[in-house]
Structure 1
Amino acid sequence: MTAEIIVQLIVSGLALGFIYALVSIEYTIIFNATGLLNFSHDKLIMLGAYVFAGQFVLRMGAPPAIAIIATVATMFLFGVLVATGIFNPLRNMASPVFAVIGTVILGRILTELARVIWGATPFTVPGFLKGIVKIGSIVIPRANIAIILVSAVIVTALQIFFKTTKMGKAMRCVQQNKTAATLMGINVTANINLTIALSAVICSAIGILVIPLFTIDLTIANMIGLKGFAAGVIGGFGYLPGAIAGGILIGILENLSTLVIPTLYKDCVAFVLLIVFLLVKPSGLLGHRQ
C-alpha cells in the first residue's frame, strides 16, 4: 500500500461523496418544501441519465454541451409537471403514509416509462468524460475531477441562490413556515412547484455526472439513492451543510474501507454508519436535536 493509492482512493471517494451529497440535498429541499420524503428521486436521476444519453446524445446525435442544456430544460419542465400533477395533491393527503407510497408509485411509473421509450438493454456513452489526469505518480480519472468541480459549483450556486436572491429567500421562507409565507404575500404553491422543478434539475445533473462511472440501465441510481438518504440522516436531515458533510464522509470512508475489506462489501459502509448514527447521534453530524 502506497501513499499514491490512498490519495487516489480519497479523490475517488470525494467524487462519490459529492454525488451522495447532491442526492441528499435533493432529499432535503423536497422534504423542507413539502414535508414529504421523495422516494422517487433515484428514478428521476435515472430519467436524467436516459434523457441526456439515450435521447439527446445517442438517438439525436447532439453534442454533449447542447445535450446537457436540453436535458436540464427538459427535466425542469418535467419537474413542474410532476409538482403540479402529483406532489401538490400528495402533500394535501390526510395521511403522510399515503403520500410516501405515492412517491414510490411515481418511481415505478418512471421506470416503466424509460423501459418503453429506450428499452431495457444497458448502454454507455463512448468517450464521455473518459481519460485520466496524471499528477506525478498519482493517476486520477478525468470523470472524478469533473464530478468534484461540477458538484462544488452546484452546491455553491445553491447556497448563493437560497441566501442572496429574492426568489431563493422566498423559497426558504416557504420551507420554514408556510402560513407566515402566505401572510407575507408569497405564493406558496408556486414556490413549491419551483422547488420540485429545481430538484428535478439537480437529479438530471446527478444522472449526467454518474454516466462515466456506471453502465446506464434502469437501476443505475438505486444504490446512489439509498446512500444519499443515508448521507442526509448522517449529516443532519433537513440541513443543507449536513447533507454535504454526510455525503462526503460516506464517499471517502467507503472507498478507504477497501484497504481492509473486500471491495464487494464496501456498499455496507454507508448503512453501518447510518445505524451507528441512529443509535449514537440521531440528530446527525451538524443537525440539532429537536
Structure 2
Amino acid sequence: MFVQLLVSGIAMGFVYALVAIEYTLIWNSCSLLNFSHGQLIMLGAYIFGGTFVTGLGFSYAMGWIGTIALVAILGTILAFVIFIPLKDFGSLYAIVATMLFGIVISNLVPLIYGIYPIHLNNYLSGIYKIGNMVITRAYFYIIIVAVLAVTALLCFMKYTKIGKAMRCVQENKAMSAMVGINVRANMVITISLSCVICALVGMLVVPLFSITVTMADTISMKGFISGVLGGFGSVPGAILGGILVGVIENISTIYIPSVYKDITSFLILIVVLLIKPSGLLGTGKTKMTAKKPAAYTRKGGTKR
C-alpha cells in the first residue's frame, strides 16, 4: 500500500511541478501571473484527444506532436494579445485578462467538442503487478515523461543561448535590453513554452481523468500551491514543492479518509509560509504586488 501511494504521489507531484514551472516561467519573464493555465491544460487534452486522435484519426505519437505545435502557436498569440500589452500595467490586469480568457475557453470547448467526456482506449493504459501490489502503468509514464521534460528544460535554460537570455531577463529586464537581448521576443518564447507545458500536462493526465471541461481545476490549484510552497520564481523550488505536495497528500490517506486529502496541501502551505514566507527555496526577492505607476512630469519639468 505504501509503495503504491508513494509512486502515485510522485507521479502527481511531477504533474503539480510542471504546472508550478509554467507559473514560474511567465512570472520570471513578465512579472505577471497566468490564471488560465487550468483551461490551457484542459484545452491541450481536448486538442489531443478530441481533434487529432478522435477527430482526425492520428496516432497517439502524431497527436502529441500536433498538439504541441498548435498550442505553441496559441501561446504566441496569447503573448501578443494579453501578456506583452499588459506587462507595464501590473499583475491585477493580467490576472483579470487571463481569467476572462479561461472563461472563454471553458465556454467554447463544449460548443466545439460537445458536453460528453472523451475517453481514449489503450492510451498509456495497463498495470504492473509487483507481488501483491498493483500499480497503474500511467503513473510510470507520467514520471518518465515529466523527468525528461524537466531535465530538457533545465538544460535548455542553462546551456542554450535562448535559455541564457531567459535567465538574464529573469534577473533584470532593463539591463538585458541594454546588452542587446530582445526582451519582447524572449517573453513570446517563454509564454509559448509555458503553454506547451500546459498541453503536456493535459496529455499526461488523460489516462487518470476523463477529458472534460473541469478535468484540470484541482491540478491547477495544487500547481499554484506547489509554486508558492517551493518559492515563487524558483524552478527548482517548483519541482520540490510539487513532489512534496503530491507525496504528502497521498501518504496522508493512510491516516485520514481520502476525501480529505486535498486539505493537506493547504495545511502544508500555511505551515511553510508561517515559518518561511518566501517558500522552501525562495530568496525573498519575489514580491507579488502590482507595479507602481510610472513617474509623471510636472509643469516645471521635474519628475516625481
Judge which range, 155-164 or 170-179, deviates more.
Answer: 170-179
Q: Please report how far the alpha carbon of residue 10 of structure 1 lies from its aligned counterpart in structure 2 after TM superposition.
A: 0.1
Q: Which has the larger radius of gyration?
A: 2
SS at match of 1:134: strand
Q: Please report how far the alpha carbon of residue 169 of structure 1 lies from its aligned counterpart in structure 2 after TM superposition.
A: 0.5
Query: Which residues in structure 2 correspond to 1:130-279 (within 5 Å)?
Result: 130-279=125-274
Q: Please report how far the alpha carbon of residue 47 of structure 1 lies from its aligned counterpart in structure 2 after TM superposition.
A: 0.6
CA distance in 2, matches of 1:157, 1:242: 17
Match of 2:32 in 1: 36
Deviations 1:215-270 (A, max 9, x none): 11111111100100000111111101100000000000111111111111111111
- Percent identity among equivalent residues? 52
CA distance in 2, matches of 1:98, 1:47: 23
Asked if 1:24 corresponds to 2:11, the answer is no
Query: Which residues in structure 2 correspond to 1:54-133 (within 5 Å)?
Result: 54-93=50-89, 95-133=90-128
SS at match of 1:267: helix
CA distance in 2, matches of 1:170, 1:236: 22
Structure 2 counterpart of 1:154, which letter? A
SS at match of 2:207: coil
Match of 2:3 in 1: 7
State whether residues 33 and 91 of structure 2, in contact with CA within 8 Å, keep that contact through their aligned partners in structure 1. Answer: no
Asked if 1:50 corresponds to 2:37, the answer is no
Structure 1 counterpart of 2:44, which letter? G
CA distance in 2, matches of 1:269, 1:116: 36
Structure 2 counterpart of 1:134, which letter? K
Deviating beyond 2 angstroms after TM superposition, the runs of 4 or more aligned structure 1 residues are: 134-139
Structure 2 unaligned blocks of 5 or more: 286-304
How high is the TM-score relative to the length of structure 2?
0.91
Match of 2:301 in 1: none
CA RMSD of aligned residues (A): 1.1
Structure 1 counterpart of 2:40, which letter? L
Structure 2 counterpart of 1:144, which letter? Y
Structure 1 counterpart of 2:57, which letter? G
State whether residues 10 and 243 of structure 2, in contact with CA within 8 Å, keep that contact through their aligned partners in structure 1. Answer: yes
Q: Give 1 or 2: higher helix fraction.
A: 1
